[in-house]
A and B are shown apart, each in its own frame.
Chain A
Amino acid sequence: MSYVRGTLAALVDAIVPETPELAALGEEHVPGGLDAGLDELLHERVNQLQEADGGVWGALGYDTVPLGPLVAALLDVAALELTLRGKRESGFQSPESAFSVGPYSWLAPRDRLRAVRMLESEGIVPRLAEDNENLGIVQYIAGATVVLVQFCYYTELTGDGEGSQGWTQAGYPGPAEGYAVSMGYEVDEFEEDDY
């Protein structure tokens, strides 16, 4: 498991974990994001966020800026900051086999999300961004990764293109041609009323 993929796996697992305790709803509700390859998908998306228009990355032959290592490193920095500030709510945990070895992967699930908050608004990076706007992109990326995890998981992107674990767990049948669900009209016509 690469450092980047393993660190993103720890984030994915904090947001959409395996949930054996939901087996009572049906076995289909047990698997989580890592079972659906969401860490790989997130890695791809993070590396597609920013086009490399010339510049150093362009000169090296990249079409896009490979932000994956930066995001992973930032999560590790945030994990350290969370720890140093005494804001962890749980002790360190041995990383899952899919995780990396950095400090982020050692955090308990909710602490991994508290670390994301460090990047968004509570930690040193957002503090520095008050004086250096370029750092504000970190706040954007931090929030975007959470959004991406949830969006990708509950679309067909984590499946075979025709369905996915997320769709199944939501009870969504996929696109349809239509539904006969009309119940008439609350208002037949709007009127040109006085104003």
Chain B
Amino acid sequence: MRERETDVVVVGAGGDGPALAWRLGELGIDVTVLEAGPFYGNEQWPAPREAPGGESSSDPSDLSGDRYDEQFTAKEGEMNDLIMGKLRWGPADGDRPAWARTVPQQAIVAQLAGVGGTTQHYYANHPRAFVGSVDDQPDWPIDYADLVPYYQHLEATHPIRPAPTTPKAELFFEGARRAGYDLTTGYNVTEEGYRPFPNAILQPDERLARDGDYDGDFGDVEGDTLAAHEHQGGPHPRGSDFEDRARRSSNVSLVPRAMETGHVEIRPNAFVTEVLTGGGTGDPQATGVEFRDTWAGTCERVHADVVVLAAGCIETPRLWLDSGLPDNGWVGKGMTTHWFDFVAGVFDPDTLEGTIGQREVNPHQGQAAGSRLDVPGVGGIAVNTFAPGITSMAMYGGGQGEFWFDRDTAGEPWDTAGRVTGRKLKELMSKYRRTLTLICHTDDRPRRENGVSLDFDTEDEHGPVPLVKFQPHPEDDARRDELAERAARLLREVGAEHVHRADAAPILLHLQSSMAMGRVLDEGCEAYDVDRLFVADHSALANGVGGANPTHTGQALALRTAETVAERYFDGVTDPIGGRTAPATADED
């Protein structure tokens, strides 16, 4: 078996792993990042779905905007088909099916493999955690204030800015105003209110004004082109350098920075199957990992002084359990999902003309998610728009319970609810251009019965597959109901002629807290029961951060964890981000 050594080995190049790798690289620590999925937009893998390509990449010049443009077509079927699409939880090899998870209930799992992980289809929403979710809920062993310097560092780095107003955002804002909400302008959310999303998307060229006269092909602009293709991979603006793409997914924003340090190597097509341990008496000590090349099927080992798990809320506990590491009863447990729901409003052209000055909402134009309503203690509501396939799937096809025709909505704030089918589906989808879709992110709370264990009856080439369960508690249901009612009221206030509530079945997309700080991990995100083993993905979050989109907090915590790794096992940190009082600028790093 081939064996190698490095300082730190990281399992997973998703949303958070590259943040940690970047910081460790800056501190002069050698890092090998093992990623199970493909590496899109890299010259080492000119045909990542068809051939094994290269072995690893550590040179920023490997990153290729041309390859990204070839591979990311922005067609939702080709990109987003969770079974055979380019963006899925599965191997790079396009002829092979997705990797198995056992989900013994109605649910959709929408995580992605590949460098960038699930940020490959994210909307770049980067709100901070709601303050109270860290300081007032009982889960976090650290304070909100501990996270702020890391938030600021990321806000300067990506960068993260208020999303521009587009017609669909203005429709939402007007609904929020009429419903009595105030505009909030602060990063630190303690009160309910509406605001533009803090998004990690480069601001659009000023020429792209609705009332302007731009009639170019968008090949001459920098920043966001307002094409609404975030879910399909968000490759715009085409023709620009890889690291200049507007939507700042971790592969675009953080991977190049990590590589620039000269200390970070990323190896895709490498599925880690075991955490190696040693040590004598007392707690076991992580010494490296074994991985399986997804193309060749061969196994290799990487030995390291420190092992960091960043494989996500499902695979991190699966790997832990498959490795036979100690289970204190919380490994894989306490998973939160934001217990999503969707509410849509359909508008008539005259109403839209009077409100936003055009006769269609046009959900396919502008940032996919640029405006939100914060309801601390309950969750959040946001504009969430998609191309038609995802719209139909999420809004009209992914519900739980009775189909729409068996539901009595008399007295409810919505006209229809549940899964819509038949002529009604086609009628509603024919009004796609006049529909505003909202998502509800519930502040669901960690519960031991929700999460990941192993399915010993189903093994793939990597061992027993994860068994994933999520059932909301009645208190979580009540929060979600409140959000759906608020969303419906907002849509009614601004003139929706038809309101639909999806009553969504569990969607496992925002996943948090299945390996939580304070339960499985200590205050530095090192495992209580295994030395030199850290976790740096959303599973380390102590809860669902109040229902705010989790990536900002996941990346902030990963930066902090990198500094803890350096302090505990390497030469320390002379200028910790956590010790800075003023926002850093990207130029300083």
Contacts and interface: CB of A to CB of B under 8 A. Distances in A.
Interface of A: 14-17, 19, 21-22, 25, 29, 32, 45, 48-51, 53-54, 63-64, 109-110, 113-114, 117, 120-121, 129, 133-137, 139-140, 142-144, 146-157, 161, 166-167, 169-195
Contact of A151 (B81, B169, B433): B81
Contact of B107 (A51, A140, A177): A140
A195 B221 contact: no
Contacts of A176: 227, 364
Given A181-B366, A186-B173, A191-B186, A169 B429 contact: yes
Nearest to B393: A151
B187 A191 contact: yes
A156 B76 contact: yes
B101 to A, nearest CB: 9
Given A120-B106, A186-B196, A178 B226 contact: yes
B403 A175 contact: no
B102 A137 contact: yes
B236 A177 contact: yes
A147 B108 contact: yes
B175 interface: no
Given A176-B227, A177-B238, A155 B162 contact: no
- What are the 9 closest A-B residue pairs judged by CB atoms, nearest first? A136-B104, A178-B225, A193-B186, A155-B77, A150-B397, A155-B389, A143-B106, A157-B77, A175-B74
Interface residues of B, number: 105
Interface string B84-98: 100000000000111
B237 A147 contact: no
Given A29-B426, A184-B164, A113 B421 contact: yes
Contacts of A191: 185-187
A143 B187 contact: no
A158 B173 CA distance: 36
Interface of B: 73-78, 80-81, 83-84, 96-100, 102-108, 131, 144, 152, 161-162, 164-167, 169-170, 173, 183, 185-188, 190, 195-196, 198, 204, 206-212, 214, 217-219, 221, 225-229, 232, 236-238, 362, 364-366, 371, 387-393, 396-398, 400-403, 405-406, 419, 421-423, 425-427, 429-430, 432-433, 455, 457, 459-461, 467, 505, 583
Nearest to B207: A180
Contacts of B74: 175
Contacts of A169: 426, 429-430
A16 B366 contact: no
Given A51-B96, A51-B460, A110 B106 contact: no
14 contacts: A17-B422, A22-B423, A51-B100, A133-B102, A147-B393, A150-B425, A166-B392, A171-B430, A177-B238, A178-B227, A179-B365, A180-B209, A182-B366, A186-B195
B490 to A, nearest CB: 15
Contacts of B238: 177
A164 B424 CA distance: 20
Nearest to B219: A177
Contacts of B467: 133
A158 to B, nearest CB: 8
A56 to B, nearest CB: 13
B97 A50 contact: yes
A117 B403 contact: yes
Contacts of B225: 177-179
B366 A155 contact: no
